[in-house]
A = this chain, B = another copy of it.
Amino acid sequence: MRAAQGTGFVAGNEYRGRGQAFRALDPATGDTTGPEFTTCEPDEVAEAAKLAWTAFETNRERPERWQAPLLREIASRLGDAREAVLATARAETGISSARLEGELARTRNQLLGFADVVEREAFGEPVHDEADPEATPPRPDLRRVLIPIGPVAVFGASNFPLAFSVAGGDTAAALAAGCPVLVKAHPSHPGTSELVGACVAEAVAACGLHPGTFALLQGAGNETGSALVTAPEVRAVGFTGSFGGGRALTALAAERPRPIPVFAEMGSLNPMFVTAAVARERLDSVVQGFVTSMTFGAGQLCTKPGVVLTTEGREFATRAAALLDEVEPGILLNQATKDAFEAGTRISGVEVLTKPCTETGEGLRAAPVLVLATLADLRREPALLEEHFGPFAVVVDLDSEDDFAEAASLLPGSLTATVHSEPEDHERLGPLVFELVELAGRIVHNGYPTGVSVSGAQTHGGPFPASSDSAHTSVGWTAIRRFQRPVTFQDVPETLLPPVLRTALLFKEEQ
Contacts and interface: CB of A to CB of B under 8 A. Distances in A.
A13 interface: no
Interface residues of A, number: 82
A129 B457 contact: yes
Contacts of A501: 433, 437
A429 B144 contact: no
A28 to B, nearest CB: 25
A355 interface: no
A471 B459 CA distance: 19
A129 B488 contact: no
A102 B138 CA distance: 12
- Of residues A440, A472, A492, which shows the largest number of chain B Cβ atoms within 10 Å of its Cβ? A492
Interface in A420-446: 421, 423, 426-427, 429-431, 433-434, 437-438, 440-446
Interface stretch (A161-169, A200-208, A479-487): A479-487
Contacts of A437: 147, 487, 501
Contacts of A486: 441, 459, 461, 471-473, 478
Nearest to A459: B488
B457 A488 contact: yes
A127 B457 contact: yes
A363 interface: no
A238 interface: no
B443 A489 contact: yes
A221 interface: no
A57 interface: yes
A272 to B, nearest CB: 13
A477 interface: yes
A413 to B, nearest CB: 8
Given A419-B496, A443-B489, A471-B481, 17 more contacts: A57-B434, A61-B434, A102-B137, A128-B457, A142-B453, A144-B456, A250-B254, A258-B413, A259-B468, A423-B493, A431-B498, A445-B489, A445-B491, A445-B496, A456-B511, A458-B488, A461-B486
B426 A142 contact: no
A290 to B, nearest CB: 16
Interface string A85-115: 0000000000000000010010000000000
Contacts of A139: 453, 455
Nearest to A418: B490
A441 to B, nearest CB: 6
Contacts of A469: 261
Oligomer: number of copies: 2
Contact of A445 (B478, B490, B498): B490
16 contacts: A60-B434, A129-B458, A142-B453, A142-B455, A142-B458, A259-B468, A427-B495, A437-B487, A441-B485, A445-B490, A445-B491, A445-B493, A447-B490, A455-B511, A459-B486, A463-B485
A430 B370 CA distance: 63
Contacts of A347: none
Contacts of A441: 485-488
Contact of A426 (B440, B457, B495): B495
- Of residues A60, A441, A458, which shows the largest number of chain B Cβ atoms within 10 Å of its Cβ? A458
A464 interface: yes
A143 interface: yes
A497 interface: yes
Interface in A59-85: 60-61
